[in-house]
């Protein structure tokens, strides 16, 4: 049996990561891997209920962080850990880097407290690889303008976005072995080519 890998996609709203997840999963499947795709907050029935609260209800910033980690605990228990134990590959649209970026960098919650929660919820499990879709504020704004029904986070002001991006990039500098920064200002095809190469090299080509 092959060993499964845990891969996460991250980035500010409007960076375009969601467009690439299905194609990336298919590339891995073409290499014979069994792949599940999932997302945070969400990924379980309870997690999806928490998601709708988190994306639409105003709440204290620590409540927000605790609910993100509560949804994540369930997601790990129900979906991620069992899949990895079977040897499947798991691709998650966001994980704990998003909590550091959004609740830490965006909202200003203490990064030390977030580190303690991370330690508590999944101290021994980190993604094998994180693809961080990076775009500057202006590009993110332009892309978001095209979508309707913006959620609570997408409606935030510029300084929120700047704080989110800054913490993402700090984490990429802190964990260069795990986090690969994707320049998401490029055309979709160029990014898809880069992701194909990432899939090939993960599968040993």
Residues making contact with ligand TYD (CB under 6 A): 13, 18, 40-41, 55, 68, 93-94, 98-99, 102-103, 151, 153-154
Q: Output the smallest distance, CB 100 to ligand TYD, in A.
A: 8
Decide whether 28 or 68 has the Cβ nearer to ligand TYD: 68
User: What number of residues does the chain have?
Assistant: 205
Q: Which is nearer to ligand TYD, 33 or 91 (CB)?
A: 91
CB nearer to ligand TYD: pick between 21 and 84:
21
**38: which strand partners?**
92
- The tokens for 44 are 């379980």
Minimum CB separation from ligand TYD for residue 128, in Å?
18
- Comparing CB distances to ligand TYD, the nearer of 4 and 104 is 104
CB of 3 to ligand TYD, least distance (A): 25
In our burial notation (b when 16+ CB lie closer than 10 A, e otherwise), range 33-68 reads: bebbbbbbbbbbeebeebbeebeeeeeeeeebbebb
- 201: CB partners within 8 A, 6+ apart: none
Helices (H), the chain: 17-30, 45-56, 61-75, 81-86, 96-99, 111-122, 137-145, 158-174, 188-202
**Do residues 17 and 11 make contact, with C-beta atoms less than 8 angstroms apart?**
yes
Smallest separation (angstroms) from ligand TYD to the CB of 13: 5
- From the CB of 32, what's the least distance to ligand TYD, in Å? 28
Q: Which is nearer to ligand TYD, 33 or 90 (CB)?
A: 90
Task: Give the list of residues 6+ apart from residue 138 with CB closer than 8 angstroms, or none.
Answer: none
């Amino acid at each position: 049996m092959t060993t499964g890998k845990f891969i996460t996609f991250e980035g500010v709203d409007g960076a375009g990561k969601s467009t690439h997840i299905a194609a990336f999963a298919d590339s891995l499947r073409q290499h014979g891997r069994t792949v599940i795709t999932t997302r945070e907050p969400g990924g379980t029935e309870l997690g999806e209920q928490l998601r709708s609260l988190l994306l639409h209800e105003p709440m204290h910033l620590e409540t927000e962080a605790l609910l993100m980690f509560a949804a994540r605990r369930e997601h790990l228990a129900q979906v991620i850990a069992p899949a990895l134990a079977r040897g499947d590959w798991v691709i998650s649209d966001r994980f704990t880097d998003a909590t550091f970026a959004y609740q830490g960098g965006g909202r200003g919650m203490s990064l030390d407290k977030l580190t303690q929660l991370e330690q508590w919820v999944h101290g021994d499990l980190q993604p094998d690889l994180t693809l961080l879709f990076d775009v500057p504020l202006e590009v993110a704004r332009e892309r978001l303008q095209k979508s309707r029904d913006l959620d609570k986070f997408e409606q935030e002001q510029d300084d929120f976005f700047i704080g989110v991006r800054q913490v993402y990039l700090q984490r990429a500098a802190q964990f260069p072995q795990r986090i690969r920064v994707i320049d998401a200002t490029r055309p979709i095809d160029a990014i898809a080519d880069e992701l194909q190469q990432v899939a090939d090299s993960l599968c040993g080509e």
